[in-house]
Amino acid sequence: MAKQTRKRLVDWLRAERDQKVSHGLYQNTQLVFAYNSNHMEGSTLSPEQTAQLFDTGALLPENADDEIRLDDATETVNHFRAFDRILDLADEPVDKAMVCELHAILKHGTSQETDPSRNVGGWKTLPNVISPIEGIHTVLPRDVPRAMNDVFKAFAELRDDPYQTARAHWLFETTHPFSDGNGRIGRLVLFKEMLRLDAVPPLIRDANRNYYTRGLRRFGSQPAYLVDTLLNERDYYRTMMETLAPGMLRYTYIDEWADRHEIETRCESEPERNPYVRDRWNDEDLKSVTPSERFILGYGFVPPRNATSEEKRRSEGASRSTGALAFPDPMPAPAPVPPQTPDDGGDGPRPV
C-alpha cells in the first residue's frame, strides 16, 4: 500500500474551509484563535457565543440581562474573515498592503471605522501605548513607515527559529502601527508566517496573557520570557493538529534556539531595542493629543494656561508617576493549563 503523503498545514486548513468540514482543525482553529485573541483585547463574548457566530452568524445572550457590545460581535466575525485571508495570503511576503488590508477587515463595520482619528486600514495618526496600565511606549506615528520596513525585513528573513520568531513579533508589537487592533493583527501575521514556513504556529491563549505581555515588555533584556511563551503556545497548537489531523500534516518544529546562552548574555549587557521607540515623549510629540488622551498615555493632564506653579508641579508629578513602565510587573498570572511557572522570576510558562 502506498504511503499517504502528508499535506502542508495551510493546504489542510484551506481544504477543510472550502469543503465546509465541521468540527475539524479549521473550525477549531478559527474558534480558539478568534475567542482568545479578541478576549485578550477586552471582548466580552464567551466561547459559546463565538461558536454561535461562526456556525450561524447570529448571537444570543446567555442570560436575560446580558449586554452584548456590537463591536465585540462584529470584530469576532471580522477575525474569522481575517483568518481566511491569511490562509489565502500565506505564501505572500508581509508588506504594508497586507497588514493594512487585515486591519481594514478586522475593523470593518465597527464604531472605529467612521472615526477619522482611527484611520482604519492605515497607519496610526496619534501616539499610543501597549496597554495603558503597562504604559509601554511604541513608535510615534511619524516614524511608523520606517519602523515597519524593519518589521517587514524581519519577517522576510524569518526561519523556524524560536528567537527570530519572537523577535519579529516583538518588533511588530512595539511598533504598534495602527490606532487599535495591533495585538490581533500581529498574532494573525505571526500565524501566517509560520504557515509560510510550514512550521507549527503559536495559538496564543488568553489564559497566558500575563506571560505573553511580560514577554513583550521584557524581550529586549530577557528574551526567554517571550521565546518560551510562544513555544508553549506552539506546543498547544501542535497537540490540536495531531488530535484533529493525526499523522496527516508535515511541518517543522524547532524548540531549541541556537546560541541561546550567547543571545541571553548579549541582551543582558546590551538590551535589544526597537530603534524607533523612545523612552519618553515631549510636548511636541503630544501636541495633537487631547488632555484626556495624554492621561491615558500616562502623561497626566496639561495644566491650564493660568494654572498656579503648585498646580503645574502636581501635573508634572502625575506625568512622571504614570509614565512608561510605571508598573514593572504584571499582576500574578492565573493558573493555566498545561501547568506553568507562576513565579515571575522563572523562565516563563514553558520549562527550559
pLDDT at 63 over 80: no
pLDDT at 2: 54
- 146 and 228, same structural domain? yes
pLDDT at 306: 52
Looking at the domain assignment, is residue 275 inside a domain?
Answer: no
How many whole angstroms separate alpha carbon 227 and alpha carbon 215?
Answer: 8
- Cα 44 to chain centroid distance, Å, stands at 18
- 316 and 255, same structural domain? no
Higher pLDDT, 189 or 335: 189
Total domains in the chain come to 2
Q: What is the DSSP letter of 284?
A: T
Place of cell 496564543: 204
CATH (domain of 16)? 1.10.3290.10
- 105 and 185, same structural domain? yes
pLDDT at 326: 29
Q: What is the pLDDT of residues 159-187, one digit of tens each?
A: 999 999 999 999 999 999 999 999 999 99
Looking at the domain assignment, is residue 17 inside a domain?
Answer: yes
Looking at the domain assignment, is residue 104 inside a domain?
Answer: yes
Range of the structural domain that residue 314 is part of: 291-321
- Quickly state the pLDDT bin for 300 (edges 50, 70, 90): low
Contact call for residues 179 and 118 (beta carbons, < 8 A):
yes
Looking at the domain assignment, is residue 351 inside a domain?
Answer: no
- Quickly state the pLDDT bin for 134 (edges 50, 70, 90): low
Percentage of the residues of the chain whose pLDDT score is greater than 70: 82
Looking at the domain assignment, is residue 110 inside a domain?
Answer: yes
Residues 191-222: b if buried by 16+ CB within 10 A, e if exposed: bbbbbbbbbbbbbbbbbbbbbbbbbbbbbbeb
